Amino acid sequence: MTSSAIRLLHIDDDRIQQALVARSLQKLQEYEFSIQTATSEEDALLLFMRGGIDLVILDYHLSKGDGLSCLRRLRQIDPLVPIVAVSGVATADIATQLIEEGADDYLCKQVLNYGQILGQSVRNALTRAKSYRRRFLTANESSSSTAPCRSMSPASSNDI
């Protein structure tokens, strides 16, 4: 089985968390991760704007910057890139806020099993992003090929 190359941006100011995530992702044999790390919101945005990122893992609490603000800014740049948010503060409000702002998944560090839970979240986020992109491209191709067609709305029914 060949592995897919995934360019990951991991945004976390804790070096131990960075190492745990990297080690956990090595267990996913279907992917080969090239990991770039950022420890602040500004560093993350600079790396992200260079392009080519396939997946983001974002910590909610950053010593320099704000995970939620970073999420919003990443979504302005690329609304489709999969983003998995993690936090050491497990509240339903934080999870809801992150999902509402565009995170594809939210994981709590306290219960995070760095083998199964993170791996499944990454698989799901990458699969969902691939599906979204495929549907988006298909929809764009369909709309451009039907652009000359008239709408069949009630306002144009006299044209029939």
Domains of the chain, CATH where assigned: 4-137 (3.40.50.2300)
Closest CA relative to residue 25, chosen from 57, 52, 50, 53: 57
Phi-psi region of 65 (alpha: psi -120 to 50; beta: other; left: phi over 0): left
Is the pLDDT higher at 5 or at 137?
A: 5
Q: Is the pLDDT of residue 13 over 90?
A: yes
Quote the percentage of the chain above a pLDDT of 70: 83
Residue 3 has φ and ψ, to the nearest 5°, of: -100, 150
The DSSP symbol for 91 reads -
pLDDT of residue 113: 65
CA-CA distance, 94 to 62, in Å (whole number)? 14
pLDDT of residue 109: 83
The 10 Å Cβ neighbour count of residue 114 is 17
Q: What is the average per-residue pLDDT within 92-114?
A: 87
Query: What pLDDT, on the 0 to 100 scale, is given for residue 101?
Result: 95
Predicted local distance difference test score (pLDDT) of residue 145: 54
pLDDT (tens digit per residue) in 61-99: 998 888 999 999 999 999 999 999 999 887 889 899 999
Q: Taking the CB of residue 38, how many other CB atoms lie within 10 A of it?
A: 24
The pLDDT, as a whole number, for residue 155 is 41
- What pLDDT score was predicted for residue 151? 39
Q: How many CB atoms lie within 10 A of CB 113?
A: 11
| pLDDT at residue number 154 | 41
Average pLDDT value for the chain: 85
Q: What is the DSSP string of 126-156?
A: HHHHHHHHHHHHHHHHHHHHSTTSPP--GGG
